[in-house]
Amino acid sequence: MLNASLLSIIEEAGVGVLILTEGLKQDEFLASSLTRAETRRQVKAISDSIANLAPSVLDTLVEVDWAGWHTVARQLGGPDKTAEQDALWFAVRSLVPATLMWLRFYRKEQPAVFECKPARPAMNGIEP
């Protein structure tokens, strides 16, 4: 259930990034402190959610660039502001669109990963 919730957060934040940055060129994006700050917040929500996904989900959704997301996460809030801006732009133009595309694909191919079903508790130590 937690994984499905995290995947929903990733999808919603990704759509938010696409809406915020639609039609912007890199210099326009970097010049807009409000858009950049909100985009950074959404990208951080994505990278934080990814960091909390179960390893089995990462292994199942193998086409998503998890390593790329981990690299972006390391750059966010780091001391090198140029590296942070580059990572943010890479997320905007590459990682977010590709991640959303693969999540749509996997939602059709692996629907159980995206289902919000609570685990069934054992009763008196016996599985139902």
Cα gap 2→8, rounded to integer Å: 10
Using an 8 Å Cβ cutoff, are 4 and 106 in contact? no
| pLDDT tens, per residue, the chain with 128 residues | 589 999 999 999 999 999 999 999 999 999 999 999 999 999 999 999 999 999 999 999 999 999 999 999 999 988 999 999 999 999 999 999 999 999 999 999 999 999 876 655 555 555 54
Alpha carbon distance 107, 97 (integer Å): 15
Burial class (CB in 10 A: 0-12, 13-18, 19+), 18: middle
Task: Note the pTM of the prediction, 2 decimals.
Answer: 0.87
